Amino acid sequence: MTIRAFIAIGLPGELQAEIGKISSALSARIPGVRWVPSENLHLTLKFLGDIEEAIIPDIQVILDQVTPRHLPINCKFGGLGVFPDLRSPKIIWIGVTKGRDLIAGLADDLSRELSGLGFKPEKRGFTPHLTLGRVKKGVRTAQLRKLIEAEEEKTARLNDSHGLLYINMLLLQKSILTSKGAIYHILSEHK
């Protein structure tokens, strides 16, 4: 049997709520975006896709080996952006302002180790971020650019006060897609 899985860094509820406030402020002013519910906010290190359940123990062994090489990490969140760019935005995100290189190194190490199980390494560099929303077709990019710039001050305040995260564990999670959005379940924690 296959499951849809990914490796992530989870967020405590209070940080999810703070970042959720930013999403709410943006959602009231940017139509045409499917916003991630605050309880689903996480930092994805590696999307595994549809995998056979039989491979999960092998992934867990790799997580147990990689985690102590990189954690703990202190990080801060702040700054808004879009992927791939403002001409054709697909993802609205909040970035990592402290600990960015350490998280990128962790993601690269995971990708290398998982390649031995047949997972393709990422071709482009890893950019640590939290996905806030997925942009639907037809969103006015000029309006989106202005709103992101206006919210930059709020994300700076988040960065200075509530945007801190002490990362001491990785999560192997499965994702169940429903008509109302994704539902995440933790398969294992790796400290």
Indicate the pLDDT class of residue 61, thresholds 50, 70 and 90: very high
* Contact of 174 with 7, CB cutoff 8 Å: no
Q: Is the pLDDT of residue 161 over 60?
A: no
Checking 184-188 for CB contacts under 8 A at 24+ apart, the result is: 184/40, 184/42, 186/10, 187/5, 187/56, 188/56, 188/60, 188/63
Residue 31 clears pLDDT 80, i.e. is over it: no
Tokens representing 122? 């990422």
Catalytically annotated residue among 70, 129, 162, 190: 129
Which of residues 56 and 22 earns the better pLDDT score?
56
Note the pLDDT tens digit of each residue in 127-145. 999 999 998 877 767 777 7
- Average pLDDT of the residues in 93-114: 95
- The mean pLDDT of 9-38, rounded to a whole number, is 88
Print the domain residue range for 160.
Answer: 2-190
C-alpha of 73 from chain center: 16
| Best CA proximity match to 154, nearest among 95, 99, 79 | 79
Give the Cα separation of 11 and 173 in Å (integer).
13
**Predicted confidence band of residue 115 (pLDDT cuts 50, 70, 90):** very high
Phi, psi of 27 (to 5 degrees): -65, -30
Grouping H, G, I as helix, E, B as strand and the rest as coil, residue 41 is: coil
Q: Which of 42, 162, 185, 190 is catalytic?
A: 42
162 classed as catalytic: no
Contacts of 173 (CB under 8 A, 6+ apart): 5, 6, 7, 8, 42, 184, 185, 186, 187
**39: CATH:** 3.90.1140.10
Is 185 tagged catalytic? no
Give which of 154, 167, 140, 145 is closest to 23, Cα–Cα: 154
Specify the number of domains making up the chain: 1
Lowest-confidence region among 50-54, 59-63, 107-111, 177-181 = 177-181
The pTM score is 0.90
- For the segment 9-18, what is each residue's pLDDT rounded down to a tens digit? 999 999 998 8
